[in-house]
Chains A and B, each alone.
Chain A
């Protein structure tokens, strides 16, 4: 089973690699051609790209990281507490055909992530299931972990029912023992044949009905009427594993199956990587956290560079008063202790993903690149091709956008990886201080915080988050170093 799962992981990774580095570029080129763009790289760019590919560690990190990010966009398909597929064939009532109820909650949750609320409502995409539709009682969501356990081995239902009955007997025993102790204190003798109090009887009745229901359910499961397909890693950041024995957080690498006093809790396996203080599985948190951190950093970098490059381009191209005034503004703006200010603002407003991104862009992200772009444009403006373009009457916007910009993008490419490191770190710091993303979002910073607050008992929370951060950021830094080396090579020569 484990081998099969590992094989699946490898397959998913290969598929991700193929998607990221074969399918997407190919489609992009084809689509570009259809739209009339011809992607032709200048010889200089070709040389730079080739040089980048030759720097092995950087290139490999690039491949791994891009693959990981593209794969993480589809996390819902293989790391999710919701099943990919769940079906139940309701037994036929008199004069009716059997009706099979099917749902794809994991896939629906993926679509809901990307589509606006209204559109997913119209499409009838529901990530939630109703227990009633799947042979259970009640309106709430199906307990997928139990459901898949039962589907795998219907005997488990019998075991669950038996454990309920066992609990009833134990509870009776406990009750009598308590009464005896109480009676002994009063110098009396407790008579065991006395009828139990009404509420106890009612409680036991209820439990017995539950056990009977489980036995009845067993016939359906044995007849193969219930089918469920769980994702590869059946946990997610949205699900609090409250059915686990004991209090969260659960330590990792504990493989025992533990039973508890609670009758409804069947023997459960604690997830391999443990849980955090809210009962969320840690690996799922880390993986979803990777996606949101990376998406955050990319969004901030994209918007920030968009603004920074435009302003920097105009500063360098137009010069004069505009240049001087914007320079002064940047000087003022750059002196803001931005993390402190973001925290002040975040402490008043409830920050969301986009609010944080925009705050970071406004206060910090647009500034860094502006000066580099200004310098590039200042230099390029004096070149002959710009003069030529200007002489034949090409307008300023076109000169900036079509002529100079492609030649001035080196700083953008070389600084992007380092910006991404900075923004991921900022998000982690904000989450760590408790002024980051809303509490329902997965986050590395919160894991760090929980670990830091309970550093003596639960250092593993820090450990996992740090390993994830270190791996990701190290990759990005290596990419950045390789890109810098490829685009701006320095050949040192010295005598000895």
Chain B
């Protein structure tokens, strides 16, 4: 293999390495620095919410905003794998380490039922109807139907004293459907439903009971029918009429149970301003009390609390070592012996609730894990998939300012940047080559000196400043030139001539800015290269042959002196994109650079990293392409040769 080929293979192999090094560096910076993405995003969102809320914004909109925030935050956390270490998180972001993906399982609205599923609905209706009729019939004698049996409501006084006390206690400590309570009552031939204690009644054989048995049988019949259909179709109906897959039913039930316990627990806790955290009960403690107890601890905790989200874990573990915790911007201490003694019953109730909450949660989690699904508080089911999903799988995440996938955003903006980049690029060559030739031919004449000043100025001033001067000095006064944007409004409806002129109008100033970047270097390069060639022997020979000067310069010398110019092709293109965001910001062009800049300002990290990935790739391949072009055009160039 020739040296050249190995050289380029080596260069290509270096591309992934470079890419990894750069992205890892930036990823680490975003993660390590205090006030990383999450916190910055939170602050930014809070600001935005405050601005929007303004005078009229009530609490409802505020809470709604917070809801969205939580969701976005969850997505952000998942995307950046903030719960994992930096290397693992980076690999997940890259797509080389499996990550947990939550994809929403769409619930089918009732009116989109498939044919065969319509039976589900009719059977459910029949079942309801049977139930209503049975209830109505039993009401005549004040009876209720519960779990395949007929019951009569029991006045509390009718119950034996100790049984009732035990039942009440169990009732307060368990949640619907009160399994321990039901078990206790069933042994006594009793039950509990809708807040009433019930006692089983013996069926008679009069007309009333015949009818009652008939209706009850019909109800069980429809139930069985319904269950059969559920079995057959694999779908079930929710109370609100939405359709759900049968395998999600346990999830639903458990979630409902968990929410019920949670609500009961929170209600009990809120009554006494207590909180539950990690299975323990805490009561609030004021900062002064905390300081009085342990001043050093209090100060350290306060410092950590102020450091924000990034130090939250450290804060909690510090406090946990002292039986304290920190929630909702307040300090809490564990409930001591005083509550246990002053109100043992309540305390035990709380503990029982906490236990059953924990039980419900673990059960739910087990089921979630087993089935590979997760359910959130709004009963939306997500499919949990552990898969590779990162930028290698083209999953760049989702921007939370635009709410669109980053990839499509970048792609749409890339087109705009391409317009300007390419135009600027070609115009640079179109102007620089003739100018360089003129300067070389008229070396050390007035023309040369005069254009040199322009070249030096172009070298000295960055492109965006030149655009800015033109905007401030010309565009402000000339109505014909727009102050920003990349195309006229309603360009789709214009004739082709008008459209081209409109685009040209919008592109004039930015493109001049783009051109400044390469203008000076390119012109000087062209001039020097031509001068070099004009002094060489083969030109001397051509002159000696008696060729005309025009032919010598334009045919003989120029061809060779164009070689160095083409060498910069790839890297010039890369430079145009990399440096363009200054011009795009100045001229309000919705290009990729502007997208990246705004993303940084708005702390939209998915876009920031996405744009970075693109910039790095363009730069890397641009460099290689320019070397390749150079080597192809000029056979004297030998890369990789010792």
Contact = CB atoms under 8 A, between A and B. Distances in A.
A331 B639 CA distance: 15
Q: Is the interface of A mostly helix, strand, loop or mixed?
A: helix
B581 A340 contact: yes
A462 B582 contact: no
Contacts of B603: 347
Interface stretch (B108-116, B123-131, B166-174, B609-617): B609-617
Contact of B528 (A456, A476, A490): A490
Nearest to A329: B21
A475 to B, nearest CB: 9
Contact of B549 (A328, A345, A490, A496): A496
B313 to A, nearest CB: 20
Interface string A467-489: 00110011011100100000000
Contacts of A348: 29-30, 33, 35-36, 40
Contacts of A428: 462, 465
Interface string A344-360: 11011100000000000
B476 A459 contact: yes
Contacts of B476: 455-456, 459
Chain A interface residue count: which class?
35 or more
B531 A492 contact: yes
Nearest to B477: A459
Contact of A470 (B26, B460, B596): B460
Contact of A474 (B456, B534, B608): B456
Contacts of A432: 464, 582
B597 interface: yes
B82 interface: no
A452 B578 CA distance: 21
Contacts of A451: 468, 472
Contact of B623 (A328, A335, A336, A459): A335
Contacts of B132: none
A341 B18 contact: no
B468 A448 contact: yes
A320 interface: no
Given A428-B462, A492-B531, A455 B483 contact: yes
A344 B608 contact: yes
Interface in B503-550: 528, 531-532, 534-535, 539-540, 543, 549
A337 B619 contact: yes
B620 interface: yes
Contacts, number: 132
Nearest to B596: A340
Contact of B461 (A336, A344, A470): A470
Contact of B535 (A344, A477, A492): A492
Nearest to A346: B600
A452 B484 CA distance: 11
A192 B612 CA distance: 73
A258 interface: no
A429 B585 CA distance: 11
A492 B561 CA distance: 15
Given A345-B29, A470-B457, A433 B597 contact: yes
B442 to A, nearest CB: 12
Contacts of B473: 459, 463
Interface in B576-621: 578-579, 581-582, 585-586, 596-597, 600-601, 603, 608, 611-612, 615-616, 619-620
B14 A332 contact: yes
A473 B239 CA distance: 75
Nearest to B608: A344
Nearest to B544: A495
A331 B14 CA distance: 9
A466 B578 CA distance: 23
B459 interface: yes
B1 interface: no
Contacts of B619: 335, 337
Contacts of A344: 26, 29-30, 600, 608, 612
B21 A425 contact: no
A448 B471 CA distance: 12
B612 A340 contact: yes
A488 to B, nearest CB: 12
Contacts of A343: 597, 600
B578 A340 contact: yes
A341 B27 CA distance: 11
A494 interface: yes
Interface string B471-487: 11100100000010000
B297 to A, nearest CB: 29
Interface string B435-463: 00000000100000000000011011110
Contact of A473 (B22, B461, B535): B461
Most buried by A among B465, B471, B532, B623: B465
A421 interface: yes
A493 interface: yes
Given A335-B18, A478-B456, A462 B472 contact: yes
A341 B535 contact: no
B21 A332 contact: yes
Nearest to B22: A336
A474 B457 contact: yes
Contact of A469 (B443, B465, B483, B597): B465
A3 to B, nearest CB: 33
Given A455-B472, A492-B534, A492-B535, A335 B616 contact: yes
A389 interface: no
B469 interface: yes
Interface string A422-463: 000100110011110000000000001001100110010011
B560 to A, nearest CB: 14
Q: Closest 9 CB pairs between A and B?
A: A473-B460, A459-B472, A337-B615, A332-B18, A462-B472, A494-B534, A425-B462, A492-B531, A348-B33
Interface of A: 328, 331-332, 335-337, 339-341, 343-345, 347-349, 421, 425, 428-429, 432-435, 448, 451-452, 455-456, 459, 462-463, 466, 469-470, 473-474, 476-478, 481, 490, 492-496
Given A466-B469, A492-B443, 18 more contacts: A339-B582, A340-B581, A343-B600, A344-B600, A345-B33, A425-B462, A429-B582, A432-B464, A434-B601, A459-B476, A463-B472, A466-B461, A470-B457, A476-B460, A477-B459, A492-B531, A492-B532, A494-B539
10 contacts: A332-B14, A332-B21, A335-B22, A341-B22, A344-B29, A429-B464, A432-B464, A452-B586, A473-B460, A474-B460
